[in-house]
Amino acid sequence: MNITSETMKDMMRNCSLCPRNCQVDRTMSANGCCGQSIHLTVARAALHFWEEPCISGCCGSGAVFFAGCSLQCVFCQNHAIAHAKSHHSSPIHTISIRRLAQIFLELQEQGAANINLVTAGHFLPQICLALEESKRQGLTIPIVYNSSGYEKASSLHLLEGLIDIYLPDLKYHSSKLSSQYSNAPDYFETACCAIEEMFRQVGIPVLDSETGLMKKGVIVRHLLLPGETGDSKRILRYLHNTYGNHIYISIMNQYTPLAHVAKFPELDRQVSMEEYERVITFAEKIGIENGFIQVGNTVGESFIPDFDGTGL
């Protein structure tokens, strides 16, 4: 579909971009599930060095952090911006589509390995317009779509030909967990359909033989939650049975219990080393080869960027 300013506005007048299908008129308000209006809201645009090695490399990923999120996980590590309301929170800034296209080019000039669109699903039409404009002006580095996984496959069709690398989460297998922590009982089924569409678009991974940087492909992230190793194993088994080693799987232990999870006692602790080792051992046992694991102390708010308007 060819996106224009008018088709973008049409989509926003009765918004059904995400699986929530809230059908809010975002040209008039920001009362939808994502909390954002038609205006692009961004918290940070800068080189980011804490992604997987094939994404960040040694030069950094050009990460653009968008405000708002339709999933709204209770344990969100980027809580300050994911739960921000358009025009009502200091960490976020409103920018134009043209300015976003310029930011992409500025990050490329800074030596970014890629452009990394973090939680951009509720701005898909605007993203398409900005990418098309920046590509016309000389943007050549890969584009990464960094997502919660809770996406509509039909909406992802808008990105075909524009995205090189998909970096979705697969957070839950259990509908009980996804209901309790994200109010999304359909999370697993929806995210699986989204990942299938992502894989259809970009196919098997391609890495640069000299730099090790990914040029195209899918990396599915799974963040362990405390006490839920069984759910993690079911997710890994599903991914490996479905895609084998045609995708990468990033198994993450960096869950950080921030202050807002205190009312969920089971989430108010770190993932233990024993829990993480059990999941890694399982991944090796079932034959996962294209994977990433985290070592050392990855827990802490120091791994959460400062959402201070850098680069905007």
What DSSP string describes 112-176? Answer: -SSEEEES-GGGHHHHHHHHHHHHHTT--S-EEEEE-S---HHHHGGGTTT-SEEEEB---S-HH
pLDDT surpasses 80 at 132? yes
Task: Quote the CA–CA distance of 38 and 10 in Å, as a whole number.
Answer: 11
Within a 10 A sphere around the Cβ of 203, how many other Cβ atoms?
Answer: 13
Task: Quote the CA–CA distance of 7 and 303 in Å, as a whole number.
Answer: 38
Question: Tens digit of pLDDT for each residue in 26-58?
Answer: 999 777 899 999 999 999 999 999 899 999 999
Within a 13 Å sphere around the CA of 290, how many CA atoms are in the beta-carbon half? 20
Question: pLDDT class for 73, splitting at 50, 70, 90?
Answer: very high
Question: pLDDT class for 296, splitting at 50, 70, 90?
Answer: low
Least confident of 26-35, 80-89, 98-107: 80-89
Least confident of 24-38, 153-167, 191-205, 239-253: 24-38
Q: What is the pLDDT of residue 301?
A: 45
Q: Give me the mean pLDDT over the 137-148 stretch.
A: 98
Task: Quote the CA–CA distance of 135 and 63 in Å, as a whole number.
Answer: 17
Question: pLDDT class for 302, splitting at 50, 70, 90?
Answer: very low
Least confident of 53-57, 80-84, 109-113, 173-177: 80-84
Task: Quote the CA–CA distance of 147 and 187 in Å, as a whole number.
Answer: 13
* Residues sharing a CB contact under 8 Å with residue 239, sequence separation 6 or more, in sequence order: 170, 220, 247, 249
Q: 298, exposed or middle or buried, with CB in 10 Å at 0-12, 13-18, 19+?
A: middle
Q: Give me the mean pLDDT over the 80-103 stretch.
A: 81
Least confident of 23-32, 95-104, 192-201: 23-32
Question: pLDDT class for 203, splitting at 50, 70, 90?
Answer: very high
Q: Give me the mean pLDDT over the 239-266 stretch.
A: 94
- Beta-bridge mates of residue 65: 44, 118
Q: 22, exposed or middle or buried, with CB in 10 Å at 0-12, 13-18, 19+?
A: middle
- Strand positions, DSSP E, the chain: 40-48, 61-66, 93-95, 115-118, 143-147, 165-168, 206-207, 214-223, 248-252, 291-293
